[in-house]
């Protein structure tokens, strides 16, 4: 089955689980809603996430996220409760980053040539953007939503020149979504195009380990700006490098997943996929 078809079934399953987690549905019930046999769904989902549907349900339900953050607990300290005791490296994708000069941002991208292409990923179609040899943008689109995803990204830097070139961005797509290519010896090179404050927030997100999470207020504390949670939330929402800069690992203080620019179902999918990555490394 093609990755895009895989994700369509997984997305439907994730939506069902997130809406019915209180009933702790059986594999048979979960499979029935997608029109797949329990055996086939188990095989497909486990191949996709590294976890079975039931293990995913246990690891990332909102109820469990809330319980970990209740009181003084936070997911950074309590990740062992999820069985996510993998190494707390800076970021398992191993990225090296630099910020574009403030002048380029203020000029809204004038003088930049940005190459882009659409590629299959574990989370649906990925829009990959590249400039100066570095990954500059990563967004997601549901079927038929590719043009909207492109418009959303080009609005950020409206004066740049955009050139579609699938071949030029294919290697970056493989580098991001193939765990076999995550290597500290050959880090993924990314470039930030944003305000100084936004770049500081995005850099802080890179410190959230795979399999863990933080809150907006904790990110603000790390920046030495404890009253800036709302501004942090806005910067997180403007993150142009989905998944690579893990804004999906930021939760509300209550533990709720809260909003996500590319959809809450996709946010749950990313957390589950990463839980599988950590689980398989133990």
- Alpha carbon 17 to chain centroid distance? 19
Rounded Cα distance between 152 and 143, Å, is: 16
Tell me, what DSSP letter sits at residue 262? T
Residue 263, phi-psi category: left (phi > 0), alpha (psi -120 to 50), beta (remainder): left
Alpha helical stretches, state H, the chain: 3-20, 27-34, 38-49, 53-60, 62-69, 75-78, 102-106, 146-154, 166-177, 196-205, 216-222, 229-237, 264-281
Residue in 31, 126, 199, 247 annotated catalytic = 247
For the stretch 118-140, what's the b/e string if a residue is b when 16 or more beta carbons lie within 10 angstroms of its beta carbon? bbbbbbbbbbbbbbeebbbbbbb
Is 247 one of the annotated active-site residues of the chain? yes
As annotated, the active-site residues are 247
């Amino acid at each position: 089955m093609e990755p895009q078809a895989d994700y369509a079934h997984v997305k439907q399953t994730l939506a069902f689980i997130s809406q019915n987690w209180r009933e702790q549905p059986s594999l048979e019930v979960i499979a029935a809603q997608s029109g797949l046999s329990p055996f086939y769904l188990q095989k497909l989902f486990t191949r996709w996430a590294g976890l079975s549907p039931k293990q995913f349900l246990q690891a990332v339900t909102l109820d469990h996220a809330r319980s970990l953050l209740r009181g003084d607990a936070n997911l950074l300290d309590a990740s062992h409760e999820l069985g996510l005791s993998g190494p707390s490296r800076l970021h398992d994708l191993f990225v090296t980053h630099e910020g574009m000069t403030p002048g380029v941002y203020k000029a809204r991208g004038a003088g930049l040539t940005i190459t882009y292409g659409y590629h299959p990923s574990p989370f649906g179609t990925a829009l990959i953007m590249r400039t100066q040899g570095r990954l500059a943008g990563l967004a997601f689109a549901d079927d038929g939503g590719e043009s909207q995803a492109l418009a959303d990204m080009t609005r950020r830097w409206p004066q740049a020149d955009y050139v579609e070139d699938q071949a030029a961005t294919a290697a970056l797509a493989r580098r991001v979504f193939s765990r076999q290519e995550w290597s500290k010896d050959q880090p993924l090179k990314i470039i930030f195009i944003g305000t100084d404050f936004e770049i500081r927030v995005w850099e802080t997100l890179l410190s959230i380990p795979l399999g863990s999470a933080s809150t907006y207020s904790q990110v603000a504390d790390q920046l030495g700006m404890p009253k800036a949670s709302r501004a942090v939330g806005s910067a997180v929402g403007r993150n142009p490098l989905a998944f690579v800069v893990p804004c999906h690992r930021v939760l509300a203080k209550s533990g709720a997943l809260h909003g996500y620019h590319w959809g809450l179902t996709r946010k749950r999918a990313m957390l589950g996929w990463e839980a599988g990555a950590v689980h398989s490394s133990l």
